[in-house]
Amino acid sequence: MKMSMLSTKAACNSHGQDSSYFLGWQEYEKNPYDELSFDLLESWLENNPDAAGFKQDGDSIFRDLALFQDYHGLPAFKNALVDFMSEIRGNKVKFNPDNLVLTAGATSANETLMFCLAEPGDAFLLPTPYYPGFDRDLKWRTGVEIVPIQCTSSNGFRITESALEQAYKQAHKLNLRVKGVLVTNPSNPLGTTLSLYELNLLVNFIEAKEIHLISDEIYSGTAFRSPSFVSITEVLMDRKLMDSDVWDRVHIVYSLSKDLGLPGFRVGAIYSNDDMVVAAATKMSSFGLVSSQTQYLLSAMLSDKEFTENYIYENQTRLRKRHEMLVSGLKKTGISCLDSNASLFCWVDMRHLLSSKTFDAEMELWKQIVYKVGLNISPGSSCHCAEPGWFRVCFANMSEETLEVALTRIKTFVDSITIPDFHHHHRSRKSLTKWVFRLSSKVREANDR
């Protein structure tokens, strides 16, 4: 009876919150750890009490900020944000603040673009594996469909021309009109940047098909080793496409959630060269504004060039160190990772630990690791990976000490399900269903702290 009183949208189960990706984070949130470079932000706030206290030249401006908000955004903040975006890209490209639309995070930015570019029943093509939240962000309220661009481990999950064409044909077989392609660069979950070949391939594809391209670049500041991150804007400029139709059909999503580690501030943005998209998105942004107080504080922070330069460098240095620590630790356990250079994750290959080459076996392994070992990882199936046995592991949300504990836990787990075969110099599996987790003394001591 109660369900019949609700709208179809409220009663349906299409939000995706029951995905294994979100279930894993629910377990993590019961016992979360510290973010990577938050101390740098706290230090800046301590040294800039006027900004943190909403003061200007010693006088409070709290009343002004609290009583008025322009949904176009504070000019000082938009100027500081586009400068920060350029700085992350090595100042190889410049951005016009008039082309920027502020949103309540990248989630809102991506959904707003769907409303601007597509009708219910239209489709966007996404390379796999992709961020599980896109099933919610792009589809839930808009009615837009996702058609996967199937990428495989045979070439490191790189986008190919044949995969693009196959996805486009698949959409038409499903009677879906393709409105565009959406990519995440750097990738979540792969932890890789798109190559110049892939970026040019995408530009060629949307030019030929006369469709849109959304480049979600919220991890653009996280490239911690070569090859460096290249924005889609740089590719367009190098190809001198500024006066072409393609220039207006490429849109960038950005956020301070990852590069600055401020997901709770809900600061996202759409950057588009299409005036109609900017106008429509600006109107829609009134449903998810960034508070004036937040904009004022961050405009002061991002305008401090000494701080931003140091933060970007130090954050990338810490990411590289933490990444190397995870990869080398897993390697000692017999687990390898996809070669990566950016983002906050490793794409981890555990295919050899599966009881069978199936997604059921992947889920069996995932449940053991999340609920018994106590590590939050995401199964590849939640990211729509076509091959069972791959997992996303985040390394940036814990201290070095915690990462050591995590590596100890996974080693104990792997040792408990494998036994050495001295005659054949390889390992054979024991049944996962008979596995009983034995917490090492080191992990037990860590939990007791």
Q: Where is the domain boundary, 284, 307, 330?
A: 307
pTM for the model stands at 0.84
Q: Does one domain contain both 166 and 296?
A: yes
Residues 66 and 141 in one domain: yes
Q: What is the pLDDT of residue 414?
A: 92
> Residue 46 domain-assigned?
no
Give domain status of residue 45, yes or no.
Answer: no
Q: 146 has which bridge partners? A: 124
- Position 362: which residue type? E
DSSP labels, 263-301: GGG--EEEEES-HHHHHHHHHHGGGSPPPHHHHHHHHHH
Same domain, 301 and 439: no
- Say how many domains are in the chain: 2
Q: Is the pLDDT of residue 22 over 70?
A: no
* Cα–Cα dist 12/334, whole Å: 43
CA dihedral of residues 35, 308, 265, 124 (deg, nearest 10): -90
Across 191-206, average pLDDT: 98
Higher pLDDT, 51 or 81: 81
Whether residues 73 and 212 share a domain: the answer is yes
Q: What is the structure's pLDDT at 6? A: 65
pLDDT of 331 > 80? The answer is yes
Output 62 or 117, whichever has higher pLDDT. 117
Torsion sign over Cα 201, 204, 210, 213: positive
For residues 63 and 18, membership in a common domain is answered with no
Q: What's the pLDDT band for 257 if we cut at 50, 70, 90?
A: confident
Collect contacts of 231-236 with beta carbons under 8 A, ≥24 apart: 231/89, 231/92, 231/93, 231/185, 232/185, 232/199, 232/202, 232/203, 233/89, 233/93, 233/95, 234/89, 234/92, 234/93, 235/196, 235/199, 235/200, 235/203, 236/203
pLDDT beyond 60 at 21: no
The verdict on residue 370 lying in a domain is: yes
Whether residues 75 and 211 share a domain: the answer is yes
Neighbours of 412 (CB within 10 A): 17
On whether both 284 and 345 belong to a single domain, the answer is no
Same domain, 221 and 368: no
**235 close to 207: Cβ distance less than 8 angstroms:** no
Query: Predicted confidence band at 25 (pLDDT cuts at 50, 70, 90)?
Result: very low
Chosen domain end from 307, 324, 356: 307
Q: Based on the domain organization, do 321 and 383 belong to the same domain?
A: yes
Name the one residue in this structure whose structure tokens are 């701080």: 307
Rounded Cα gap, residues 340 and 224, in angstroms? 9
394-405, pLDDT tens digit by residue? Answer: 988 778 888 899
| 183 has a pLDDT exceeding 90 | yes
User: For position 405, which CATH number holds?
Assistant: 3.90.1150.10
Q: Which domain holds residue 199?
A: 51-307
Lowest mean per-residue pLDDT among 121-125, 203-207, 373-377: 373-377
Q: Of 268, 289, 307, which closes a domain?
A: 307
**22-26, 33-37, 358-362, 430-434: range with lowest mean pLDDT:** 430-434
Q: Is the pLDDT of residue 444 over 60?
A: no
| pLDDT above 90: residue 44 | no
299 plus 326 within the same structural domain: no
Lowest mean pLDDT among 109-118, 326-335, 433-442: 433-442
**Of the candidates 25, 34, 24, 27, the residue with the CA atom closest to the CA atom of residue 398:** 34
Other CB atoms closer than 10 Å to residue 7's CB: what's the count?
7
pLDDT of residue 446: 38
Determine, yes or no, domain membership for 44: no
Q: Are 80 and 299 in contact (CB under 8 A)?
A: yes
Active site residues: 131, 216, 218, 258
The reply to whether 79 and 149 lie within a common domain is yes
Q: Are residues 63 and 128 in the same domain?
A: yes
Q: Can you read off the two tokens belonging to residue 223? A: 């490239």
Cβ proximity of 374 and 447 under 8 Å = no
Q: What is the average pLDDT across 289-302?
A: 86
CATH classification at residue 66: 3.40.640.10
